[in-house]
A = this chain, B = another copy of it.
Amino acid sequence: MNNEKQIVDALRKRGNKVTPQRLVTIEVLMTFREQHFSVEELFQGVKQRNPDVGMSTIYRTVQILEEMGFITKRNFDDGFARYELCELDEKHWHHHLICLKCGKVIEMQDDFLEVLEKEIEEKKEFIIINHELKVYGYCSDCYGITKGEQFD
């Protein structure tokens, strides 16, 4: 997991400026550790600490941070883009179990896909940089509730 200083240094190295607005944005970002946050949510957090920051500044900063690889865009079909902090030191990513009933997103660490990756690289002549697995179904809470029902 990256810390604030790493991001700030990387910004400077890239020729980007480190403004107060960006500092606060990064600060708030760090408090989102395990969460999937939307730009709106980030904006609200930033506004609490500095009410004069504009929405578009947040959008622009998020775009840069994504280009730099510090955050990754995710899509959970809830109307807006969500992001999460990347863990650059880990080779493999976690995956998501998404409940079709309540929408809960459960994270899951896994390295099973390494075998599959090798196969793909050989068979398909494709160089793999990253992968993303979403598993849709029913979480234990919702399974309990719907026990006995038909799932469609």
Q: Enumerate chain A interface residues (CB-CB to B < 8 A).
A: 69, 73, 75, 77, 97, 99-100, 106, 108, 110, 112-113, 115-117, 119-120, 124-140, 143, 151-152
Contact of A75 among B77, B115, B139 (CB under 8 A): B77
Q: Is the CB of B137 within 8 A of A130?
A: yes
Q: 23 A-B contacts, Cβ less than 8 Å apart?
A: A69-B152, A75-B77, A97-B120, A97-B126, A99-B126, A100-B129, A108-B120, A108-B124, A110-B116, A112-B119, A113-B133, A120-B135, A125-B143, A126-B135, A126-B140, A126-B143, A128-B135, A128-B137, A129-B137, A129-B138, A130-B136, A131-B136, A132-B133
Q: Is the CB of A124 within 8 A of B138?
A: no
Known: A126-B137, A129-B136, A133-B134. 13 other contacts (CB 8 A): A106-B124, A108-B124, A112-B116, A112-B119, A113-B116, A120-B135, A128-B137, A129-B151, A130-B135, A131-B133, A131-B136, A132-B133, A132-B136
- Minimum distance in angstroms from A148 CB to a CB of chain B: 13
Which residue on chain B has the smallest CB distance to residue A128? B137
| Assembled-state Cα–Cα distance A132/B131 (Å) | 11
Q: Is the CB of A137 within 8 A of B127?
A: yes
